[in-house]
């Protein structure tokens, strides 16, 4: 099932959080689903990540954060995308995001938030839906 064929997706780790298992699981899964995946590696600033997403002509940008700093890091990343006039790049967030913060992130413009308990095929289906 290559539901993401032709899509370019950047997976990024903003901030100092070094837990990258989730980011890599998603990167491998999206690649298996046909997407072109670019993984930034650890410890990247929001400004750097936004620039990579633009330079790679990404359809989507996935941010993985488990350190509790998602409010600051996500808003800074979206702000950077805006400054680069790249609001068309859809932003997704994964990691440990407490439910009460979901609305806040969506208010910043995040398209969807995925948690560790979600089935991978559901993540792929949801992404495909958003990127249609």
Partner 1 sequence: MSARDGGGERIDPRQPPSPRPETSSGIPLPEFLAREDGEIPGEYPFTRGIFKSGYRGRLWTFRQYSGFGSAEETNERYKFLLSSGSTGLSVALDLPTQCGYDPDDPMARGEVGKVGVSMFSLAEAETVFAGIDLSRISTSFTINGTAAILYAMYVALSDKTGVPRSALTGTIQNDILKEYVARGTWIFPVRPSMRLIADTILFSNEHTPRFNPISIAGAHVRDAGATAVEEMGYTLANGLAYVEELLRRGGDANSFAKRLSFFFYVHMDFFEEVAKFRAGRRLWAKLLKERYGITDPKALMFRFGVVCGGSSLTGMQPYNNISRVAIETMAAVLGGAQSIFTCAYDEAFQIPTEFSTELALRTQQIIAYESGIAKTVDPLGGSEFVEWLTDRMEGEIATILRELEDYGGVEKAIEDGYLQMRIAERALERKQKKDRGETVVVGENYFGAAGAAAVEYGEVFKPDPASEHRIRSRLEDLRRQRNAANVARTLDALERAARTSDTNVMPYLVDCCHAYATLGEMVARLKACWGEFSEPIRL
Neighbours of 40 (CB within 10 A): 21
| Shortest Cβ 94–partner 1 spacing (Å) | 12
125 binds partner 1 (CB under 8 A): no
Nearer to partner 1, 92 or 114 (CB): 114
- End-to-end CA distance of the chain: give it in Å, rounded: 15
Please identify, among the stretches 2-10, 50-58, 81-89, 112-120, the one whose residues bind partner 1 according to the rule CB under 8 A. Answer: 112-120
Please identify, among the stretches 26-34, 50-58, 83-91, 124-132, the one whose residues bind partner 1 according to the rule CB under 8 A. Answer: 26-34
**d(C-alpha 84, C-alpha 24), whole Å:** 27
117 binds partner 1 (CB under 8 A): yes
**d(C-alpha 46, C-alpha 72), whole Å:** 10
Quick note: the x/- pattern for partner 1 over 62-101, rule CB under 8 A, is: -----xxx-xxx--x-------------------x-xxx-
Helix axes 70-83, 46-55, angle to 10 degrees: 40
52 binds partner 1 (CB under 8 A): no
Neighbours of 76 (CB within 10 A): 19
**d(C-alpha 30, C-alpha 27), whole Å:** 5
> Chain-centre distance of CA 24, in angstroms?
12
Q: Which residues bind partner 1 (CB under 8 A)?
A: 15-22, 24-25, 27-29, 31, 37, 39, 41-43, 45, 67-69, 71-73, 76, 96, 98-100, 115-117, 119-121
């Amino acid at each position: 099932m290559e539901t993401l064929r032709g899509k370019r997706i950047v997976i990024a780790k903003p901030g100092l959080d070094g837990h990258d298992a989730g980011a890599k699981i998603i990167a491998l899964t999206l690649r298996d689903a046909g997407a072109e995946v670019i993984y930034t590696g650890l410890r990247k600033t929001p400004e750097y990540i936004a620039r990579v997403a633009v330079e790679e002509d990404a359809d989507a940008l996935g941010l993985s954060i488990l350190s509790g700093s998602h409010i600051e890091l996500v808003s800074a990343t979206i702000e950077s995308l805006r400054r680069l006039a790249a609001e068309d790049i859809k932003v997704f967030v994964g990691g440990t995001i407490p439910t009460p913060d979901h609305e806040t992130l969506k208010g910043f413009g995040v398209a969807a938030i995925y948690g560790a308990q979600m089935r991978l095929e559901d993540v792929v289906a949801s992404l495909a839906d958003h990127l249609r």
